[in-house]
Structure 1
Amino acid sequence: MRIMGRLGTVFFKLVLSYVVLIAITLAVGVISYFYFSSSFNEQVEKVNQRILSHLSQTIEDDVIVLAEKSYLSIITDEKQGSVLPLFFFDHPIAGNHTKISEIHQQLKAMVASNSAIIDSIGIYYKNNQIVIASDSGISYLDQPVTINLDWLERARKTALLPWAETRTVQPSIYSDSSASDILTFVRPYPYTSDESRIKGYIAIHLKEEAISKLLRSNNPGDKSEMLLLAADGRTISRSVPEKLYESEADKPHIRAILQAGDAPDGFIEAVEDVKTMVSYIKIPSARWSLVSLTPVDEFYKNTVPVRNTLIVICVIAIAAGLFISNMFTRNMYRPLKQITHTARQLFGAGPLPHENEYKVIGHAIDSLSVKVTELEQTLHANLPLIKHNLVLGLLHRKIRTEEELGARLDMLGMQWTQEAYYAVTFKLEAADMEHFPLDKSQFVKYNIIEHIERLGDAERMLLAIELSEQEIYAIVGCKAHDMNAVIALAEEVADYASSSFAIKTVAAIGSMVDSPLDLHLSVKEAVALLKYVFFLPGQRIYYGIKLLHREFSEEEMPEEVLERFAASLRSGKREQIQDIVAEFVRLTQTGGYSADHCHQRWRELTGVYRTFLKDIHIPPDTILCGELLEQFKNIRDIAGFEQWLLQAIDTALEMVELRSGNRTNDIIERVKKYIQAHIRSPLSLDLLAHHVSLSPRYLSRVFKDEVGMNFTDFVTNQRIDKASELILTTDLTVEQIADQVGFNSSAYFIKKFKESYGVTPKTYKHNYMLSVEGKSDGKLEAN
């Protein structure tokens, strides 16, 4: 009974529970180790597959699609009537040497636009036995060549297998670069398997180094390796450049991948006696396989110290626990009971005397940890909002006391000890921001805000927030008054926005204030200074007392300027009109007038012009439409307004001049004669408008009204008429006639001729000859 009584004491219960807990912990640890190892491997495989999927799509877009698009851009050109690089597939070199240079320059431009991935482009013209390449120009194959043409030999053997293996290519004698590793996309023109129809080959040489960088940037570990393999096991690229040309095709894991289906998969296998996670994904469009090889130990290397430390801690804990439990159990239980009682009171647990005390304490600690974690997460998530409200509160005078300011700064973990504060407003060019979708524009603004705040240091404090779609507000705190430092900071931010995102940025700086609580005065001045961006477009930074004096000036621009402008419009003297408009612009820029007053005078000047149109019985909508209306909507500054106004005035004066006599008929006759005299040359509306001193838009409208068809159709008809004459009266070929009448392509000429006459030029001439012979035979029979 005595022994049973001792077994029922708290001391022995605690010792027994500790021993049982140790046994359970060890069992759970062993089971968990094996379970989580297996689960971890599965998760690693999933992560690897996501990386490979993303990388394969990147390779598909950046390499395969780029090569195919480059090929298509060479054989199709929507901007030209003919495709220049295809010229020598059907034409001899003789008499066309200038086109060699043009093709060479076009290929160089294509390479330059994608220089990160494309090494060079070469075109082989079968009939002429030449190769024109972006890096070496023209090479005649009937003469000794100094460029690498191994791709051409391969293309002749396997025309419909577009990808040539990666190999090291020595530079041509025309290049000062070193040898490089490239792979080549080769496709015949036209794209066919019939060798007799192939006119040549187009080769896009891609940099293996660019693909290798993609593989390295997505490598999951230091000892991992990425490989890109062809269907026959040849290595296209790999993340370890030194091993690029090592053969992998005969290795068991590679053979298994090549023989597998198209579905992505993975497995664990010994590779060179190292247990390795092998993951792969197929790229069907090129018949490539993307493979990731990662030693399994690589995944666990960071956990080894933790594991060893936990083992040591467990051993120490077991030994110490057994010793301490025997010595201090009785002394521990009394405070344990008090703690348990307090925990139940604090966390609302009822009086459960038989409940395990350690569970009660554990529940209390868990509850406390959860509450602390939730509080930290809430505070961290709201830091941007707290910062935003702080800046807005100071700039809009919603924070009025030092105590409120101090409380906000404490939440942000900040202390402001500066003695000079400035408000700076950054305005991003709206036209530049419109190029970005909504999510990208938000990213741009947040990136600029982060850049602004990174410029802070021990000498100055910087906080910035987004205010609107195009505006960012910043607070600058300095140890002492230093306007030059603030100007330099604004310049640096404008340069960053321009270089990183191609966004034009201007900034306005308010005057210095001694206290953050007075920043609302500084931002008010900065906002006012931004009004002068329209009138002083050459500046990037707006600041200073001179502009502020203008803002509060009551001086008015003389009415006499508007009166002289109205008189010059009635006189129709263009030089006088230009001088008065230039004077108006100068007054808005250098005069002491407020921005609001200048805007008012600008509207009044436009009103004078509209009144002039009504006086000469020209509806304003007749002129202020189309291109001029779009230009008016996109006016960004006073220089754009000046250009628009002068163009609108010129249009009105041209209409007056044309209405005053028979000048319209004379102009149309001059245009027709010019077209007929220069039928072989390129003819455009801009060229003819310049020839007759009219705007292209107005000439287009007058020409259609007088002739009954638009300018382009008239030119085409004239060329077709001239061509029909040459067909019947000369022995020139179709290509020569097309060139004589100004067509860049004989195919396009034949198409337009058939649209007009219903037959091709050859058939047209044949029919004519038959009719002539028929008439001759009829005369002979009559005789």
Structure 2
Amino acid sequence: MMKYSYLKKLFIYSLILGALPVIVMGVFSYQRASTVIQHKVDEANRQILNRAVNSIEHKLETAHIMATQFANSTLAVSALELDLNRYQFEVVNDLMKTIRAFQVFDFVESVYFVNLEKEWLVSYKGLERLSETGALSEWSASLSHPAQWETGSEEGSVCLIKPLPFLSGQSPPRAALVLKFSPRLFDSLVRSESFGDTVIYNENLEMIFRNSETLSSKEQQAKLERALKLQSAEQQDIDIELDGAPMLITVQNSGYNGWKYVSLVHLSEITKESKAIGWVTLSVCVTIILITLGLAWQGSKMFYSPIRLLRDMVAGSNHESVSSAATDEIQYIRTGIQGLLGNKLELQKQLQKQFPYLHELFVIKLLLGQLSSKEIRGHIEMFDIVQNWSRSSVLTLRVYSLDGSRFEERDLGLILYAVKNIMEEILTVVQPFKPVIMNESCVAIVVDSSAGIVPAEDRLMHLCEEIKEKIQTFIGLEIQMGVSRFHAELEQASVAFADSTAALHFCQRTGYRGVMRSEQADPGSLLEMTYPARQEQELLEAIQSGDRSAANEVVARILEKIEERHFTQIEAQVLFYQLFVKLNGLLQRDKQTLKKMLLDVEHVQTLFRTTSFEELGHWFTSMGLEPLFHLLLAREQSHQSQMAQRIKDVVHKRFEENLTLEAIADLMNFNANYLSRVFKKEVGMSFSDYMANIKLEMAKQLLTESDMQVQQIAEILHYQSTAAFIRYFRKMEGMTPSSYRDSK
């Protein structure tokens, strides 16, 4: 058996078609998310770094302004000319007080007012003589090449040097104000919320500050410094690797003092978020792919099922003829269909040979009423018959006698075949149906498309006479032929066949030789029961009285007489069909319903398909009489319902007359007992109970809607007495009429 290769291909194609967009979208989403996260982190670090730079530069600028103000102050300028000592404590105290003003900034560690020329120094601690402390040479060296911003070898060591006097240009200067900043200057970086580390370089690329151990080795520092030297003015980001770890470097140059603020971010920190998103994306994609896998499998099986059915059909129909070299089911099916088409062509050739026999079989079944309307249309299409006729008739022909001829009884088959050929030569020139041999008779269906019935009948009789003459000329035998009436529908061919057979039997009984039309057959020459008038009356009475057993007895007597007089099945069928039509015509009032019933082809064909008298009797009682019983029962029920309603109408319209059922029966011209039974059956209560309920309802209405006294109400409603009215009202309502009025 062929493997499911096409199913696999269909499944793989469906899976790729469903999974590929998911994979592409997942990769795109991950890449996009990673790029966006990296951009957001870079932007956030840049903003954080910018805030930190602004904070540091603001502190430095504030300290620089205060230092400039001090350097330009009268106190500082005048103190430069003094050789301060402990005896000039007022000036020293003023200087110390001014210097201590810098203590308001927690990022200023210490302040030194140094005078190299006079060899003194004032700080937070007080006045120091440089010559006495031995620090003169150290300060002279520190101020020999003074820069505004001095960074020491120690990380975080930053000093602001203001030479004095201001704008003197002397080197080394006579004096200077030195502000030494504490590590608090970089608190904004230490407490930074950035994702990475921060390093600060001065204008000479000397490290001033770092907030982590990222650049712990000299090699890392050197590599970063080389990257910073190669950085262009427009370039703000640098991608490098430190110890094999990729880093994202963000650089911001200070326009205030030339420092470089460098942010170092490990890409692994950034990709943590990307990896998390990647895992979520992968999970979603895997879930969707699994769903797609299931849907692709179910869909592939669904779309493959017709192919599998075709494959199994091909394999089961002609497995050996299908090539075993087929690569998939489609090729397998194609090879099998090609083989089936070859078989079809061969079968068509065989059918062409059997075509005449199939046509005869179709005509025989049509005459016997064994085909439905749909089957008839199908056969007409199969035999390419152009359906352009408006009516049809049936011819039934038999050889009258072989006595005195050159033929014997054993030659009857050959004679019928010869008669059939003669009829075929005459009829098939203009007729679509070929004659057939049935029950030692030749039968033919003749169609006509004439505008009127008279030309059609003339043409039909001309054909019959021609057939009769040709048979007598070529075979030398006389024939008897029965011709049916014309019928509008081809489905009525079985009825027409019965008509023509009945006409032929008339010829046989009377000895008539020639063509006999069914309407010309003399009923008086047939059996007495061709139209059973007496039995018809008995059946009619049984049906009207609803007595099924009596009706069945009448049908049984008709069948007994048919058997006694040796009726054929066709004759019995025609007899019962006539009886069926007459009874329906007498009992069915609705002409449209009657017409629909009598023209029901399937219904009539069922009658002519019966094969025994017993089956015919069963059809007549069940299909013919039973609907009439139901019809009369429904009509009787409707009539009784109308009578009950009419009684109610009379009661309500003439209530004041206090009519009895006998009086109403006289008005309606019916028996009172019959009306009583009908009323109780339809209403569900006797007439007297109905009247009592009517009186009670009217009494309740008068009690609630009028001011009439109880006695007046009893008189109007024809109660025997007021006491009788009160007793009956209390019995039915549980209270007296007066109490009922008060309660309402």
Q: TM-score, normalised by structure 2?
A: 0.36
Question: Which of 1 and 2 has higher RCO (CA within 8 Å, sep 6+)?
Answer: 2
Q: TM-score, normalised by structure 1?
A: 0.34
